[in-house]
Structure 1
Amino acid sequence: MQRIVDPESRAVEAVLADVWGARSVYQPIVDLDSGVVVGYEALARWPAVPGVDVGRVFDEAADRGVVRELDWACRLAALSGAAEAGLSTEYSVFINVEPHNGPVIPDFARRMLDSFDRPINVVIELTERSLLSDPATLLAVVDAARRLGCSVALDDVGANEATVTMLEFVAPDIIKLDCTLVQSDPSPAQARVIAAVRAHAEFTGATILAEGVENEEHLARARALGATLGQGWLFGRPAALPSDTSRRRDVIDRTPSVVSRRRSSAGSAVPEVPSDLFGEIPPLVGRKAFVLSMAREIEDHARGAVDPLIVLSAFQRARWFAPNVVDRYADLAALHPFIAALGVGLPDEPAPGVRGAALDATERFSGEWTVTAVGRHYFAALIARDLGDVDVPDADRRFEFILTHDRRLVVSAARSLMRRVLPSRG
């Protein structure tokens, strides 16, 4: 019997057979106050296979293990199109990237980038769906992009309520609101997302960009959401870049920036180990029994929390991740989108649904006990360093510690743990 292949599958196959046939079209991004175009999002297309579902192409490429080549073909098509159009740095080019490909730029890409005769102002876009599977690599990609002078945008924010907590870890310069928030009045769950986004933007100075603005009603809602930038059919459909994108100097001086000038670096530093933050708050000294009660308070709050939290903890050695702790963290994993435990000798999944990472017994971190919880409006960290007491009962071992709810310090400590977490095996 002859197997029937649907037209979309044939289109996907055709693209994967010629990934370097990718070309970009560009959708304008405008400043909502002035209506001035400040950038363009590059969208991959294959002229030989019009109308192919790009999302399905990437899904199939991931299944076959060829997404790295596809991703770089799309990135370089976007940059080449901008270079050929002579796009000035007064405009930003938003380029989607697959963070699981890692921060290393391959040689063939470097050669092409070196051939451009002018710089390009790049904003890398990360989608919400990429955040939780391999956060350590994601954060490495973000750090590498910023070292290269790129800005970072988080795309589709609001499509998944649980991953809004990752805003604190990525610390995007630009938050792109999912079109569902722009095109209808919010549900209670969406209202919680909006409140979290506004709180994050207020604290960090991140720019809010509304996607899917197709009419005046959407535009009014985008402004009500706090967006200062917009993208959608009301402003222009994806197309080739204009033949002349130069601006007069007097216009350039008045052109808004895609990144807020009050953008804060708060929370961006990642200490090597959480106790490096002791320089910010003088530590206290307490016995293990006392410190344990403080750690349990954070965990108990997480067990009763309604809003999603990210809980990251380090336990020194695997023996301290005892059966009662296994049960406690398994309960947390059933409630929240991301729970992780680190320690010397801990396996990849030390409790059901809990991410693990084994620490090296010789590193400084192995002498620390840390519990962090990061939410949309809740931030807590217990950071403790073992003072090395011997020949005393375990409950009497002393630790120097800080207990803080300072948002910046909590996020810094949590990032220190997050960059060590192993990828999801799923």
Structure 2
Amino acid sequence: MQEEMTSEDETKQTTEEGEEDLVTDVSDDGFKSAQAALQVVNTVQCGNVGVTSTFAAESGLPPGHSSVLRIIIENLFYPVSLEVLYQIFSKFGFVLKIVTFTRNNQFQALIQYAEPVNAYYAKMALNGRNIYNACCTLHIDFSKLTSLKVKYNNEKSRDFTRFDLPAADGQLPLDPAIIAAFGSQGIIFQPYVGTGGIGPVTYFPQGAVTTSVASVRMSNPGVPGNSVLLVSNLNPEAITPHGLFILFGAYGDVLRVKIMFKNKENALVQMADATQAQIAISNLNGQKLYGKFIRATLSKHQNIQLPREGEEDNGLTKDYSNSPLHRFKNPGSKNFQNIFPPSATLHLSNIPPSVSFDDLKSLFARTGSTVKAFRFFQRDCKMALIQLGSVEEAVHALIELHNYDLGENHHLRVSFSKSTI
């Protein structure tokens, strides 16, 4: 029988020794501190909550501190780009946003992580260290901001969870087909050996790339290569593979789902690619689902194995690779531009003409939802907005009613909306 992947196996600490890009012209204690921080981050990204809590307690992790870091770079002998900062700081966790600027003749940056613990260990490891040999010194503090607002994706600012942002006013965002081909940043990085430490990164806008994709070394530095998520703290009495497929499918195409046979509070969700996995983490980690706050992190597993023939599974592993419900299988789909965090307002579409507000209200009431407001689109009554009593109610309703058969060959489409009624 195939060995069952347990929670303990899933969260086993992994350490990659010797990964050190910065120049180590600091004391041995500083080097050891950086290595220890990297070790802890590896543990965090593998989902070991217990080990992470222990490290945090021993290191004096302040409760409730910001996930946003403020960086001042002194002795700026070489230019430091947004891409260089990303390569350095993404070692400590998923970076959501970066904003760079100059103030008081000093080059500064604000970097927002997905979780405060990643910001803490990045500060612990990098504060006071040099990017290049004897220059470009990092001075890092926690920002008073809790979140960054990024308007443009360009050389000065970037939101790694938003593909639809333009480079400037009046410019169009990247075409989804380009995003699918080149990764979420729409950027190709090539290795460069600088004067010690991390060298400058050569930056090519998409329009300047003339060689074929296969002929260049492409990487997506902000997105680790794994597309499998570990989802923990689930409600074992309510969760199903289908429910996880529908919920995580709002942020990417889910290929497979496996609820642990021996511990049904944990599950693996395999997304189509690493970019979609990180988008799902940034939107669903900490979301309340069936009365429990779930945790979504990267798994150490690279794929989900289907059960062998005759192996006991109780229907806990499902393959959705060929599901017609994938929202993002078409590169030019508008769904790429309509990815929003869970909200109490849902966008409904594909509503047949015979279905009224009262019909939809009764339908949502059967899921336990309280309808606070409702509005059909004036120009298209096939679409509507519905506001429910809470975000959790909306999450449950999306799981229950997405693809619901309304008759007349119409299946209801449900997604989260940024609008209010």
- Answer yes or no: same fold by TM over 0.5: no
Greater share of helix residues, 1 or 2?
Answer: 1
